[in-house]
Chain A
Amino acid sequence: MDNFIAARSQMGMSLAFHIIFATIGVSLPLMMTISEWRWRSTGDPVYLLLAKRWAKGTTILFAVGAVSGTVLSFELGLLWPRFMQYAGAVIGMPFSLEGFAFFTEAIFLGIYLYGWDRVPGWFHLLSGIIVTISGVLSAIFVTLVNGWMNTPTGFDIVAGKFENIHPFVAMLNPAGIPEAVHMVLAAYTAAGFATAGIHGWLLLRGGRNRFNEAGLGIALLIGGSAVLLQSMSGDALARMVAAKQPMKLASLEGQFQTETGAPLRIGGIPFPDKRETKYAIEIPHALSLLGFHDPNALIKGLDQEPESDWPDVRAVHICFQIMVGCGSLLSLFAVAAGWLAWKKPPLIEHKVFLKTLVLVSPLGFVALEAGWMVTELGRQPWIIYHLMRTKDAVTSMPNVTITFLVMTALYVVLGIIVVWLLSRHVIATPKGKELERSEVLV
């Protein structure tokens, strides 16, 4: 494995893990806060127990997310020193603001977790709200940086260097806000459905109980609402990509030729050597319609760019199909669940509903990872779109393969332990006496 591939692999592996830890860490606090609020307004101890369960999950994931995030902030320099040398000043602002958001989150999470008996009730709930908000803010700030790598703005290039930098213009780049909204909704979708699926599975296995029903209700409400909003956010993001990164759109869609009234392809496999995408279901004019809200709009194909500058079209297209496919299935499920809940309550009694839920519940995470592959692989070979190539940013340090292997082994072990811990502490139906006396548990 050469150094460049090793560096990309290490960064990709670190991000793939961090995204999972961080998205659950962003979404669980919302569920935990809602649950505590339900407890404080109804007095039902089931909600208190749920809040404490989810708080435990939040702690485990926040801790692991914090360390994996620290690793990333160092790896930016360790693996891509030239990128940081040139771009550090431009993207430093969102990173710094993220630092403060993260700080706030850590402080109030400390108060939330260990302050049940030490602060007044209203303040405890407020701490949960602050944790929720600051978690979302950190996700937004970090995604703004990724947006800048896709649509770099806020500077002039003078003699190969960034000059006249405006950090806030750079931060609020065209891709940033749509990407950030998409990311936050993806986090709620993924964690919401996964959590709902877990409670669904426990209900199937152990029979009806209030604890799992309440958990399922909150989680599905969040996951379901998020995935339905996601379709709108996806549309905004697609139009941004069409306007600002036409070559990325072309590789997402496997669009090799420039054409007006381009079709939308569902499925299919791109063949870059033959310059066509085969075996896809094509919906005429739909890509032009989605990209520009005009059925006859011109869609630029990959033929506009030298083949050496193409990303891995096949991987990008397939990941994109996976993301959209999973999102669509989850949206369908959310709509069906909403309709059933309205028509035939109580929904919980339907075995088929629960089984389907368990089946679709991991799709949010599949979509999340696939979507992240789309945005990262779709930008290649550029680390800063059309400005700096990834291979020019890599470190001169030898033996990156070793650090890649060490970090991978470490993260795999971490991942296994986190799952095991969650299964012990979060994913389990409580015993009867825990439900009756949940106030003694923390």
Chain B
Amino acid sequence: MSTDVILAAVMLVALVIYSLLGGADYGAGFWDLMCSGPRQQDQRDVISRAIQPVWETNHIWLILVVVLTFAGFPAAFSEISLGLAVPIFLILLGIVLRGSSYVFRAYFTGSVGTQLYWGKVFSISSSMTPLFLGIVIGAISSSTVLVKDGISENGFLRTWFHPFPLIVGALSLSLFAYLSACYLTIETGDPALQNDFRNRALFSGFVSLMAAFATYVVAENAAQGIRDGLSRAPYVWLIEAGGAIAALVAYQALWTRRYQRARIAAAAQVALIVFGWGVTQYPYLVRPELTIVNSAAPSNIVSDLVIAVAIGALVLIPSLILLMLVFKTHRESRSVDADTTLV
């Protein structure tokens, strides 16, 4: 396997992890917007506690993907930046508003009114960002992004404003919401709250299933390459079958209120979907012209990057495990120190 492909695989893995961690944070923001019923404030508190210590870290996977794209595949980075400037700008707006409103909400002690206001900004931007991230993924899969000599041949709207990317956007938002609701069921010990998030998980899981089906149908015309990829090689069937089994397990576990199992299965399901997209997109980075090989930086740079990533991972992985050990265990003590963590 060439180093170009190894680097692209590293980026895909980073994207999968970003979906599982950052994606769930976005989903949590979406649910923050949808909090309702008698336990509205409690739901918000669960969400807030769950993402508090990890969201900065989760966000950085995206930066890693961006940086590795321009370092390892500069031609693709340049083409995506030009052709998809509009959705990328909207992603940026979402990221800025979400990140800042999150801290603002946490630190605007005193008036409940302003906290609610920042909460709105936070949750709307949390929903907007994954929508446009999905649109970008959909656009680079569907052969409409074409850049020649620094000019986008399809302008700045037709590259992404058509059914396929929009449906992929909806799919990614619903998947993240589903994932997040599954995670949130075990972030609280209160059965009533667990039930609230269980109902949300079942609902958004169903919506994402519909969106996935719609994606497949629309791909017929808009993203033939992806459609062909899905039915191409036996290993793709394996990934699809794995995803389907994970989805069934997650649903069954949610139905019977086995939240720990539901969380793991939902994570596996989303990971396999993102991974499956990467495999069907192979060997392209931006369809129809830019492949991993023809947009890669010179091979010595790519191998140096792979080495740098490997060394970086040696620091990163133990640190991440440590972070999870510190904050995602000791569940019983959580409700006690929740009062003293931030204010």
Q: Which residues does A use to contact B, with CB under 8 Å?
A: 56, 59-60, 62-64, 66-71, 73-78, 81-82, 84-93, 95-100, 102-104, 106-111, 113-115, 117-119, 163, 165-168, 395-398, 403, 406, 410, 414, 417, 421, 424-425, 440, 442
Interchain residue pairs A-B with the least CB separation, the first 9: A92-B71, A77-B81, A88-B74, A89-B297, A100-B312, A85-B78, A67-B99, A88-B70, A114-B53
* Interface contact B67-A96, CB-CB below 8 Å: yes
Most buried by A among B71, B77, B79, B322: B71
* Interface contact B63-A73, CB-CB below 8 Å: yes
Residues of A within 8 A of B212 (CB): none
* Interface contact A70-B95, CB-CB below 8 Å: yes
* Interface contact A67-B96, CB-CB below 8 Å: yes
The minimal Cβ–Cβ distance linking A100 to chain B, given in whole angstroms, is: 4
Residues of A within 8 A of B150 (CB): 81-82, 395-396
The minimal Cβ–Cβ distance linking B66 to chain A, given in whole angstroms, is: 5
In the bound complex, CA of A344 to CA of B151 (Å) = 68
In the bound complex, CA of A87 to CA of B71 (Å) = 9
In the bound complex, CA of A67 to CA of B55 (Å) = 12
The minimal Cβ–Cβ distance linking A320 to chain B, given in whole angstroms, is: 32
* Interface contact A99-B60, CB-CB below 8 Å: yes
CB-contact partner of A442 in B57, B89, B340, under 8 A: B340
Interface check B342, CB cutoff 8 A: yes
Residues of B within 8 A of A114 (CB): 52-53, 327, 341
Residues of A within 8 A of B82 (CB): 77, 81, 395-397
Considering the complex, give the chain B residue whose CB is closest to the CB of A90.
B301
Residues of A within 8 A of B308 (CB): 93, 96-97, 100
CB-contact partner of A92 in B53, B63, B301, B319, under 8 A: B301
Interface of B is mostly: helix
Known: A104-B319, A167-B304. 20 other contacts (CB 8 A): A56-B107, A70-B96, A77-B78, A81-B81, A84-B78, A85-B78, A95-B70, A96-B67, A96-B309, A102-B63, A106-B60, A111-B322, A114-B341, A165-B298, A396-B152, A397-B156, A410-B93, A410-B96, A421-B104, A424-B107
* Interface contact A92-B56, CB-CB below 8 Å: no
* Interface contact A118-B330, CB-CB below 8 Å: yes
* Interface contact B56-A425, CB-CB below 8 Å: no
Given A63-B56, A66-B56, CB of A93 within 8 Å of CB of B319:
no
* Interface contact B326-A118, CB-CB below 8 Å: yes
CB-contact partner of A63 in B100, B108, B319, B323, under 8 A: B100
Given A110-B327, A165-B300, CB of A417 within 8 Å of CB of B100:
yes
Residues of B within 8 A of A396 (CB): 82, 150-152
20 contacts across the A-B interface (CB closer than 8 A): A67-B99, A71-B96, A73-B63, A76-B70, A78-B88, A78-B92, A89-B297, A92-B70, A93-B304, A100-B316, A103-B319, A106-B57, A110-B57, A110-B323, A115-B327, A117-B337, A118-B330, A165-B297, A440-B340, A442-B342
CB-contact partner of A73 in B66, B100, B108, B323, under 8 A: B66
CB-contact partner of A96 in B78, B305, B327, B340, under 8 A: B305
The minimal Cβ–Cβ distance linking B150 to chain A, given in whole angstroms, is: 5
The minimal Cβ–Cβ distance linking B70 to chain A, given in whole angstroms, is: 4
In the bound complex, CA of A276 to CA of B106 (Å) = 55
In the bound complex, CA of A106 to CA of B125 (Å) = 21
CB-contact partner of B95 in A71, A76, A91, A92, under 8 A: A71
Within 8 A of A (CB), among B6-49: none
* Interface contact B326-A115, CB-CB below 8 Å: yes
The minimal Cβ–Cβ distance linking A133 to chain B, given in whole angstroms, is: 12
In the bound complex, CA of A118 to CA of B99 (Å) = 25
The minimal Cβ–Cβ distance linking B109 to chain A, given in whole angstroms, is: 8
* Interface contact A73-B67, CB-CB below 8 Å: yes
Residues of B within 8 A of A74 (CB): 66, 81, 88, 91-92
Residues of B within 8 A of A102 (CB): 60, 63
* Interface contact A92-B297, CB-CB below 8 Å: yes
CB-contact partner of A66 in B80, B99, B337, B343, under 8 A: B99
Residues of A within 8 A of B304 (CB): 93, 167-168
Interface of A is mostly: helix
The minimal Cβ–Cβ distance linking B62 to chain A, given in whole angstroms, is: 7
Residues of A within 8 A of B57 (CB): 103, 106-107, 110
Residues of B within 8 A of A68 (CB): 96
CB-contact partner of B74 in A60, A84, A163, A421, under 8 A: A84
- Scoring B residues 302 to 343 as 1 if CB is less than 8 Å from chain A, else 0, what string do you get? 001100110010011001101100110010000001001111
The minimal Cβ–Cβ distance linking B22 to chain A, given in whole angstroms, is: 12
Interface check B248, CB cutoff 8 A: no
The minimal Cβ–Cβ distance linking B162 to chain A, given in whole angstroms, is: 19
Interface check B59, CB cutoff 8 A: yes
Given A78-B88, A88-B74, A114-B341, CB of A109 within 8 Å of CB of B315:
no
The minimal Cβ–Cβ distance linking B86 to chain A, given in whole angstroms, is: 9
Residues of A within 8 A of B292 (CB): none
Interface check B273, CB cutoff 8 A: no
* Interface contact A397-B85, CB-CB below 8 Å: yes
Residues of B within 8 A of A417 (CB): 100, 104
Given A66-B56, A118-B330, CB of A95 within 8 Å of CB of B93:
no
Given A84-B70, A107-B320, CB of A77 within 8 Å of CB of B95:
no
Considering the complex, give the chain A residue whose CB is closest to the CB of B91.
A74
CB-contact partner of B56 in A100, A110, A119, A406, under 8 A: A110
In the bound complex, CA of A308 to CA of B227 (Å) = 54
* Interface contact B103-A59, CB-CB below 8 Å: yes
* Interface contact B78-A88, CB-CB below 8 Å: yes
In the bound complex, CA of A181 to CA of B100 (Å) = 29
Interface check B75, CB cutoff 8 A: yes
Given A96-B305, A102-B60, A118-B327, CB of A77 within 8 Å of CB of B99:
no
CB-contact partner of A100 in B95, B103, B315, under 8 A: B315
Residues of B within 8 A of A62 (CB): 56
The minimal Cβ–Cβ distance linking A332 to chain B, given in whole angstroms, is: 37
In the bound complex, CA of A77 to CA of B102 (Å) = 27
Residues of A within 8 A of B305 (CB): 92-93, 96, 167
* Interface contact B81-A78, CB-CB below 8 Å: yes
Interface check B68, CB cutoff 8 A: yes
CB-contact partner of A70 in B63, B70, B301, B327, under 8 A: B63
* Interface contact A89-B315, CB-CB below 8 Å: no
Residues of B within 8 A of A442 (CB): 340-343
* Interface contact B56-A106, CB-CB below 8 Å: yes
In the bound complex, CA of A60 to CA of B71 (Å) = 30
Considering the complex, give the chain A residue whose CB is closest to the CB of B342.
A442
Residues of A within 8 A of B297 (CB): 88-89, 92, 165
Interface check B244, CB cutoff 8 A: no
Interface check B238, CB cutoff 8 A: no
Most buried by B among A56, A114, A410, A424: A114
Interface check B209, CB cutoff 8 A: no
In the bound complex, CA of A104 to CA of B308 (Å) = 14
Residues of B within 8 A of A96 (CB): 64, 67-68, 71, 305, 308-309, 312
